[in-house]
Amino acid sequence: MTKLQNDRFLRALNREPVDVTPVWMMRQAGRYLPEYRATREKAGSFMDLCRNAELACEVTIQPLDRYPLDAAILFSDILTIPDAMGLGLSFNTGHGPKFDRPVRTAADVQNLPLPDPEGELQYVMNAVRTIRKELDGRVPLIGFSGSPWTLATYMVEGGGTKEFGKVKGMMFSEPALMHQLLDKLAQSVTTYLNGQIAAGAQAVMIFDTWGGVLTPRDYQAFSLKYMQQIVDGLTRENEGRKVPVILYTKGGGQWLDKMAATGADCLGVDWTIDLADARRITGDKIALQGNMDPCILYSTPQRIREEVGNVLASYGKGEGHVFNLGHGIHPGIDPENVAAFIDAVHALSGQYHA
């Protein structure tokens, strides 16, 4: 196995010393990049792009060729699992994801198969293997999945939602059925992430995009419980190195203590909590990833640099910070502003490390 040339990201996740703060961006491969739009055009559709290992590898590496990012993230989507379960996924430009066969009844839940990572999802494993080979030790590769609760929201609603009426309707009126669905998803996510790790993912991240729409009690019972099940079932070491796990609940700032208790290595945090508070709440015992408001990237290089300084200062001195946006980068961002952002993190963070 090739030696990692840049292991800042893995070192920060393990709270080990680094020279400067590592940085990557959620959705770093995406529509804000003209080269991404060109490759997507060539692929046909978004899912065709995900299913083609060579093209998925190409778009994964595009942002790394532009910016000195400290990690690559597998190009794929969280909805590959429900797609492999037979729900019929499509992405229609401007309308987001859509499922032809949403999950609504007990029979729907009972009939869901548990997808095989080297079967229906082999295209994802192939993408991981291809990307690792192409990266050749340049930076570590992050694998990922959605959280069971977040996957369930799309599966029950049949697509994106602002109200969560159907999925919360099921949760409140048929909690046992919702638990059955979440348990199946937790099992599927565990084998899927372990498949990605076996294929070469060097860290994994669980995206709980919609955990923050729950009450504190329901968050624990319907989202965190199943992320805990996944963390307990993950391969934690591979190729003689620890495989760190990052948990990210958007809007989860008030539950960081409970998230930290899962045994994850790092918590992703959005911009609605100050990193100094996040660090205090978690007892400075777990790495933190975040948390600049992605909308800052609509401003100017000067304002971006100032905000990078604010975020670095709020984390303060010491190890365990991975710089990121608090959520994914928007498609309308100017790639020049991204350059200013990434450069500022490396230029301004040396003073926070011994």
Cβ distance to ligand CP3 smaller for residue 3 or 162: 162
Min dist. Cβ of residue 161 to ligand CP3 (A):
11
- 113: contact with ligand CP3 by CB under 6 A: no
**Contact pattern from residue 157 through residue 196 relative to ligand CP3, giving x for each residue in contact according to CB under 6 A and a dash for the rest:** ---x------------------------------------
* Cβ atoms of 90 and 64 closer than 8 Å: no
**What backbone phi and psi angles, to 5 degrees, belong to 230?**
-70, -50
Cβ distance to ligand CP3 smaller for residue 15 or 62: 62
Question: 122-135 and 53-66 helices cross at what angle (nearest 10)?
Answer: 40
- 79: contact with ligand CP3 by CB under 6 A: yes
Cβ distance to ligand CP3 smaller for residue 46 or 164: 46
Subset of residues 310 to 339 that bind ligand CP3, contact rule: CB under 6 A:
327-328
- 207: contact with ligand CP3 by CB under 6 A: yes
Contacts for 35-41 with beta carbons within 8 Å, 24 or more apart?
A: 35/59, 35/62, 36/62
Please give the Cα distance from 208 to 185 (Å, whole number): 13
Stretch that binds ligand CP3, among 74-82, 123-131, 171-179, 308-316 (CB under 6 A): 74-82
Please give the Cα distance from 127 to 135 (Å, whole number): 12
Of 32, 36, 67, 154, catalytic: 154
Please give the Cα distance from 35 to 28 (Å, whole number): 12
Instruction: Using alpha carbons only, give the angle 338, 66, 3 rounded to the nearest 5 degrees.
Output: 115
**What backbone phi and psi angles, to 5 degrees, belong to 90?**
-140, 155
Of 8, 11, 15, 40, catalytic: 40
Tell me, rounded to whole angstroms, the distance of Cα 214 from its chain centroid: 19
Candidate residues 9, 67, 75, 323; the one interacting with ligand CP3 per rule CB under 6 A: 75
Place of tokens 């369930």: 152
- 28: contact with ligand CP3 by CB under 6 A: yes
In the annotation, is 31 catalytic?
yes
Return the amino acid letter for 104. Answer: R
Return the amino acid letter for 223. Answer: S
Candidate residues 4, 23, 26, 322; the one interacting with ligand CP3 per rule CB under 6 A: 26
- 270: contact with ligand CP3 by CB under 6 A: no
Positions annotated as catalytic residues are 27, 31, 40, 77, 154
List of residues contacting ligand CP3 (CB under 6 A)? 26-31, 40, 46, 73, 75, 77-79, 91, 96-97, 144, 160, 207, 209, 250, 327-328
